[in-house]
Amino acid sequence: METATENRKRVLSFVQSSGTPTLGNYLGAFRNWAGMAAENDCIFGVADLHALTVRNAPADLRRRSIEMYAWLLALGLDPEKNIIFLQSHVPAHAQLAWILNCYTAFGEASRMTQFKDKSKQHADNVNVGLFTYPILMAADILLYNPDQVPVGDDQKQHLELARDIATRFNGIYGDVFKIPEPYIGKKGARVTSLTDPEKKMSKSDPNVKSFVSLTDTNDQIAKKIKSAVTDSEAAVYFDAEKKPGVSNLMTIYSCCTGRDFAAIEAEFAGKGYGDFKAAVADAVVAELEPLRTEYERIVGDKAYIAACAKTGAEKAARLAYRTLNKVMKKVGFYQV
């Protein structure tokens, strides 16, 4: 995939190698990626360079990077039809990031809200990499001249920064970078914590009952769903403000069964939360079990993962260095 084919867009998406994805990650984004790849020329990257903004045991970082790559393959993303690679395997990311650092105003970088949030979470390790993280993200994007980039609410500001940097650079040197647009595809579900439905479901939550991990066993899934916070009314209907716990479980059930909220309310009219939670647990198990089985098959085949990652990095590097070389020529580096 050298260039986006006619009538197809080039879409770029990165996922961090920061741990096992959750049910929220899957229903919110991952489940839609196979469909996105069928309609577009897609590039998927595991953002392992970004993982260094927090301290990692080397063995843990390596393992998580391999596991996240295996999840991408398990989702049904074809490594022959898509570019699927690890960010650290293409040094052009770090090279372009340094150049873009020099075209980003300090004030722009200091306004990034995620830096402020992460600084509070990791007050003992507020490093420069955490501050310049969005500029590396801009490099990740601009290297591949994508038409579109899927972004969640927490990443919109970073895409805007990438667009601003690209516009500034183009204003100085001419038409170098394509200005990417946000990808508006099938909207994923917003799944919240099982123990505190006011918060997003997160794998970093210290309470393991708050999230369903994609590697959880069927029994673990059932126990977590059945212990999820609801309320004392014992009536199943959707009201995100008054019944956030029940509404969250209805969202999950709707995603896994295809039933809309009206149908779910009718299905459980006159029934208690015990019946409802049992049905939600069964639906989640049915949704995730085939995915987990495929992941376990792939992650156990280290040779296959290595071969796919090597080929993916080679394909990515061809695109990335084409852009980087153009940038280096424009800014005035001597090239031989």
**Residue 1 pLDDT class (50, 70, 90 cuts):** very low
**Whole-number pLDDT of residue 19:** 77
Segment holding 313, helix H or strand E = helix 302-331
Residues 23, 80 share a domain: yes
In a domain, 5, yes or no: no
In a domain, 115, yes or no: yes
Residues 309, 274 share a domain: no
Domain residues for the domain of 71 are: 10-188+302-331
Residues 309, 237 share a domain: no
- In the predicted model, what is the mean pLDDT of residues 106-123? 78
**Residue 2 pLDDT class (50, 70, 90 cuts):** very low
* Cβ neighbour number for residue 290 with a 10 Å cutoff: 10
Residues 232, 287 share a domain: yes
Q: Has residue 3 got a pLDDT over 60?
A: no
In three-state secondary structure terms, 119 is helix
Query: Which listed residue (9, 178, 203, 209) is catalytic?
Result: 203
114 neighbors 130 (Cβ within 8 angstroms): no
190 neighbors 28 (Cβ within 8 angstroms): yes
- Alpha carbons 296 and 289: distance in angstroms, whole number: 11
Q: The CATH number of the domain where 42 resides is what? A: 3.40.50.620
Angle at 317 between CA 175 and CA 131, to 5 degrees: 70
Does residue 271 carry a catalytic annotation?
no
- In the predicted model, what is the mean pLDDT of residues 198-217? 92
Residues 34, 153 share a domain: yes
- By percentage, how much of the chain surpasses pLDDT 70? 96
Does residue 187 carry a catalytic annotation?
no
Residues 132, 234 share a domain: no
Query: Which listed residue (81, 187, 199, 200) is catalytic?
Result: 200
Residues 154, 114 share a domain: yes
Does residue 200 carry a catalytic annotation?
yes
Q: The CATH number of the domain where 213 resides is what? A: 1.10.240.10
In a domain, 2, yes or no: no
- In the predicted model, what is the mean pLDDT of residues 120-147? 88
- Alpha carbons 113 and 119: distance in angstroms, whole number: 10
Residues 288, 311 share a domain: no
Query: Which listed residue (9, 81, 116, 118) is catalytic?
Result: 118
- In the predicted model, what is the mean pLDDT of residues 185-205? 87
- By percentage, how much of the chain surpasses pLDDT 90? 77
How many folded domains does the chain comprise?
2
In a domain, 202, yes or no: no
**Whole-number pLDDT of residue 91:** 98
